[in-house]
Amino acid sequence: MNALTTPSSKEAAAPAYLQIKTFVLEKIQSGEWREGDLIPTELALCEQFGVSRMTVNRALRELTNDELLVRIKGSGTYVAQPKFQSTLIEIRSIAQDIRERGHEHTSQVLSIERLQATRAQARQYGIPVDTPLFHSIIVHAENGLPIQYEDRIVDARMAPDYMEQDWSRITPNEYLVRVAPLPKGFYTIEVQVPPPAIAQALHMAEHQPCLVMDRSTSSSDHFTTHARLWHPGDRYKFTGRM
């Protein structure tokens, strides 16, 4: 980062906490401080502006509430990443959303295996016990930044070639829409703190929350897939139209 600068005389007429907010905003908007950059400490800003730590804290807290900064305990305050968005209502592929933004989608397969439905899964999905299933875990990234951890169960009878697909060229969602057309689904969205393994896969700090979509879909009234999709809460949002 470049050396800190002092506020202009015009800025000095504003309340101290607003001077600090304006200073930080100008650094971000000019591109001098970029997404993911560590900004000066509260102590450094106190010394620069000649104000109390409480005043600096108020300015940074308001910018954090506006989702322009991210504060990580024990690490510091960072310029926030943009919140990538996904459209609700439609059953869309994460890759489709990324491509429509003109960005690059990449994926990493963490695991893929064959299973047989347990009694609990049979009740949950309305399928016989021991039904053949596929279980995959894939991390999707936008311009190299992980934004979705996809934990998916698939009914092997509906998608027998699932394990033979190249998931770097097609997403599970895109494949399943082809082999099990006219899908119907049900989903919920909630905020959860991810387990350490998921947080690590998404390059998240400890104890940061995720937006978690839990979605089941069927085709011709037959269960097709259940996916639990974890998204970093500080860089992702869902959108929709009514």
The 10 Å Cβ neighbour count of residue 2 is 7
How many angstroms separate the CA atoms of 177 and 24, rounded? 45
Residues 64-111 pLDDT 10s:
887 788 887 777 898 886 665 555 445 678 888 888 888 999 999 999
Residues 187-223 pLDDT 10s:
899 999 999 999 999 999 888 999 999 999 998 789 9
| Distance (Å) of CA 5 to CA 29, 48, 129, 154, 206 | 15, 8, 67, 56, 33
Q: Which amino acid is at 45?
A: L
Tokens of 135: 């279980």
Most confident option among 4-8, 32-36, 85-89, 104-108: 104-108
Average pLDDT of span 15-26:
90
Q: Is 95:171 a contact under the CB 8 Å cutoff?
A: yes
Q: Which class in CATH covers the domain with range 84-239? A: alpha beta
Give domain limits for the chain. Answer: 9-79, 84-239
- Looking at the predicted structure, is the pLDDT value of residue 144 above 50? yes
- The least confident of 33-37, 42-46, 130-134 is 33-37
Q: Which class in CATH covers the domain with range 9-79? A: mainly alpha
